[in-house]
Amino acid sequence: MSSERLASLLDEYAELEKRLADPAIHADQGTARRVGRRYAELVPLHKAAAELEQARADLTAARELAAEDPSFAAEAETIAAQLPALEERLAELLIPRDPHDAKDVIVEIKAGEGGEESALFAGDLLRMYTRYAERRGWLTEVIDAQDSDLGGVKDVSLAIKSKGVPEGGNGVWSRLKWEGGVHRVQRVPVTESQGRIHTSAAGVLVLPEAEEVDVTIDPNELRIDVFRSSGPGGQSVNTTDSAVRITHLPTGIVVSCQNEKSQLQNREQAMRILRARLLAAAQEQADAAASDARKAQVRTVDRSERIRTYNFPQNRITDHRIGYTAYNLDLALAGELDGVLDALSEADRAARLAGDPELARR
């Protein structure tokens, strides 16, 4: 256990506590939210350190009393038996955590090869994440979507936000960061008249939503084009140039939005997605310890390697990274994802304790 790291984090906790007690900080809601998130991340550490310190003090006192009165020996043994668990808990909390765990996310789902069946599956994934968010009490917002002819989605961007400051710093990213990659479905498509099982896939990319302070964007490095919307949007669709396409020239990242009725609204939504993508790109280039999860996710998408299979005939969901299998696909698609997400989180926790942050994603 690093005493220097513990002391540094406890000092940071005390400083954040002072800042939050100052009414002036709440004049800037963005700053207050960021400080509140970081404070919430450190609360479990502060609590664990205090419990361990108290237990050690109690043990010292009990042993001193036992030297004079043997009846205190049993109490000293009881306290001593509790110390290893408290020390392990604190050591676990001292392991560097994902710096984005408290953040909200933008989930991008793209239909892959498979035509309409792939688009229908992408729509299933969209509903799955939306329902899971509802179960967690999170807020969802479709930023942009391109629907398919049969009711699926070709491409959709979904923002998912927690309400208030997430407890323990465990925000939406801490749960959904595992979802990035290629999701494969095996089922009889509605377009199949022979009843044969087909395999198709959809790609999922999960981005921590960036705030303006997280990413600096030079307006001179943006090319902004406007064009006619071709999807939902009311009377303005196909009559005004309300859709917006933003190209970030240094990186070549292109973002388009057309769901909103006004050009200004579409521009704001496109900038949200652009900030998230730029933050993810910057994280990919950061030091390995801070970006293992993000880099693994990007590699998975780029290589088109499946991370999970949804088999409808067997009602089976399988996560190939950790060998997880459950026969409750119907419940998972209805938003009951905690089984597979808990398994992924536990695998990651075990890997980090073992000093191997890649283990959970092999």
Q: What CATH number is associated with residue 279?
A: 3.30.160.20
Q: Check whether residue 230 and residue 261 sit in a common domain.
A: yes
Q: What is the CATH number of the domain that holds 179?
A: 3.30.70.1660
Question: Residue 136 CB: number of other CB atoms within 10 A?
Answer: 16
Q: Check whether residue 32 and residue 129 sit in a common domain.
A: no
pLDDT (tens digit, 9 = 90+) per residue, 116-142?
Answer: 889 999 999 999 999 999 999 999 999
**Which percentage of the chain shows pLDDT scores above 90?**
49
Half-sphere exposure of 27 (CA within 13 A, CB side): 4
| pLDDT above 80 for 323 | yes
Could you tell me if residue 100 is inside a domain? no
Could you tell me if residue 296 is inside a domain? no
Of the candidates 95, 77, 104, the one whose C-alpha atom is nearest the C-alpha of residue 165 is: 104
How many H-runs (helices) and E-runs (strands) does the chain carry? 9, 11
| pLDDT above 90 for 255 | yes
pLDDT at 179: 95
| pLDDT above 80 for 260 | yes
pLDDT (tens digit, 9 = 90+) per residue, 201-246?
Answer: 999 999 998 876 678 888 999 999 988 776 544 444 445 678 899 9
Q: Confidence class of residue 3 from pLDDT cuts 50, 70 and 90?
A: confident
Radius of gyration from C-alpha coordinates of the chain: 24
Alpha helices in the chain (DSSP H): 3-21, 29-68, 73-94, 115-136, 172-176, 263-285, 288-303, 329-333, 338-353
Q: Which pair of tokens denotes residue 282?
A: 């910057």
Q: Check whether residue 223 and residue 191 sit in a common domain.
A: no
pLDDT at 361: 43
Of the candidates 278, 253, 275, 256, the one whose C-alpha atom is nearest the C-alpha of residue 266 is: 256
Q: Which pair of tokens denotes residue 21?
A: 């007690």
Residues spanned by the domain of 181: 105-212+301-354
- What mean pLDDT comes out for the span 84-100? 87
Q: Check whether residue 66 and residue 202 sit in a common domain.
A: no
Q: Check whether residue 308 and residue 186 sit in a common domain.
A: yes
Could you tell me if residue 65 is inside a domain? yes
Average pLDDT value over all residues in the chain: 85
- What mean pLDDT comes out for the span 25-45? 86
- What mean pLDDT comes out for the span 94-114? 87
- What mean pLDDT comes out for the span 255-265? 87
Q: Check whether residue 257 and residue 141 sit in a common domain.
A: no
- What mean pLDDT comes out for the span 264-280? 90
- What mean pLDDT comes out for the span 61-75? 88
User: What's the domain count of the chain?
Assistant: 3
Which of 43, 68, 94 terminates a domain? The answer is 94
Q: Check whether residue 114 and residue 200 sit in a common domain.
A: yes
Q: Check whether residue 159 and residue 235 sit in a common domain.
A: no
| pLDDT above 80 for 301 | no
| Residue 207 to residues 157, 242, 276, Cα–Cα distance (Å) | 10, 26, 6
Q: Check whether residue 229 and residue 318 sit in a common domain.
A: no
Residue type, 245: R
When mean pLDDT is compared across 90-99, 292-301, 306-315, the lowest value belongs to: 292-301
| pLDDT above 80 for 328 | yes
Q: Check whether residue 208 and residue 223 sit in a common domain.
A: no
Cβ neighbours of residue 259 under 8 Å, at least 6 residues apart? 142, 143, 144, 145, 231, 232, 233, 266, 269
| pLDDT above 60 for 360 | no
Coil vs helix vs strand at 115:
helix
pLDDT at 210: 83
Half-sphere exposure of 204 (CA within 13 A, CB side): 25
pLDDT at 91: 87
Which of 268, 289, 310 terminates a domain? The answer is 289
Could you tell me if residue 361 is inside a domain? no
Could you tell me if residue 77 is inside a domain? yes
Could you tell me if residue 359 is inside a domain? no
Could you tell me if residue 27 is inside a domain? yes
pLDDT at 279: 87
Of 238 and 77, the one with more pLDDT: 77
- What mean pLDDT comes out for the span 12-31? 89
Token pair 């299979």 is found at 309
| pLDDT above 60 for 313 | yes
Which of 233, 260, 289 terminates a domain? The answer is 289
DSSP state of 333: H
What's the CA gap between 215 and 27, in Å, rounded?
22
Q: Check whether residue 223 and residue 336 sit in a common domain.
A: no
Q: Check whether residue 307 and residue 207 sit in a common domain.
A: yes
